[in-house]
Amino acid sequence: MNQNTSNDFLQVLGLFKEHIEDILSQEGNILVEENVSIPIEETLDKVKKEINNCQKCKLSHNRTNIVFGVGNEKAKLLIIGEAPGYDEDIKGEPFVGKAGQLLTRMLIAINMKRSDVYITNVVKCRPPNNRNPLNEEISTCEPYLLKQLNIIKPKIILTLGNFAAQTLLHTSTGITKLRGKFYFYHDIKLLPIFHPAAVLRNSNLRKPVWEDLQLLRDEYQKL
């Protein structure tokens, strides 16, 4: 290749690179050093703004606050409960009542802090009188949870109670049978355990919960 041909070739390569960058920026992506495109619009703040004043299901009628989620946005562990309760609805923060205090103690028992993890629920608004969320409410709210998952990209998901496990694992099997082992949600390890509120009601659940927390601790320490 003579000098002129080589210069022409480099010029064409440069134009081609500019063209690709134009296309990516028009599609709402940015080009990073390793030529990996990242959607610009997906941040927790943006999803939180999007959810603000959501009226997509009937749970909007009685709520005081939407309970979006709280914690470390780069957490390796994402904890997903079922729905906000009375205290959470008032404060707009998940797991701040008695069950939340127990969750904090459960984390401390395996040498973790709330600030290490991100905590949210399957549905973001409190069901009236703390009833179970309905299937249509879960499916309407699920896209918000999936966006949170996609942004946080945890290494492990801990689900609390029936609904979080059943929603992510697409199963009707109950938590009593599901608990005690890891599953995969796409390529993320998922451990279903009893909800702390259930443990407060039934002290017999303390033993299986402690066994499951040890499984979680061992897996987390490998990260």
216 binds ligand SF4 (CB under 6 A): no
CA angle 47/72/101 to nearest 5° reads 105
Give the binding range for ligand SF4 (CB under 6 A) out of 7-15, 119-127, 191-199, 200-208: 119-127
Q: How far, in Å, CA of 187 to CA of 184, rounded?
A: 6
CA angle 59/132/86 to nearest 5° reads 65
Give the binding range for ligand SF4 (CB under 6 A) out of 4-12, 72-80, 123-131, 182-190: 123-131
- Residues with Cβ within 8 Å of 47's Cβ and at least 6 positions away in sequence, in order, are 68, 144, 147, 148, 151
**Axis crossing angle, helix 206-221 with helix 98-109, rounded to the nearest 10:** 50
Smallest gap from Cβ 56 to ligand SF4, in A, equals: 4
Smallest gap from Cβ 128 to ligand SF4, in A, equals: 12
Cα-flanking dihedrals φ and ψ of residue 29, to 5°?
-115, 160
Which among 74, 84, 86 has a CA at the least distance from the CA of 120?
Answer: 84
Q: How large is the greatest C-alpha to C-alpha distance in the chain, in angstroms?
A: 82
125 binds ligand SF4 (CB under 6 A): yes
Residues within window 56-85 making contact with ligand SF4, judged by CB under 6 A: 56-57, 59-60, 66
Smallest gap from Cβ 122 to ligand SF4, in A, equals: 9
Binding-site string for ligand SF4 from residue 13 to residue 52, where x marks contact by CB under 6 A and - marks none: --------------------------------------x-
156 binds ligand SF4 (CB under 6 A): no
Q: Which residues bind ligand SF4 (CB under 6 A)?
A: 51, 54, 56-57, 59-60, 66, 123-125, 137, 140-141
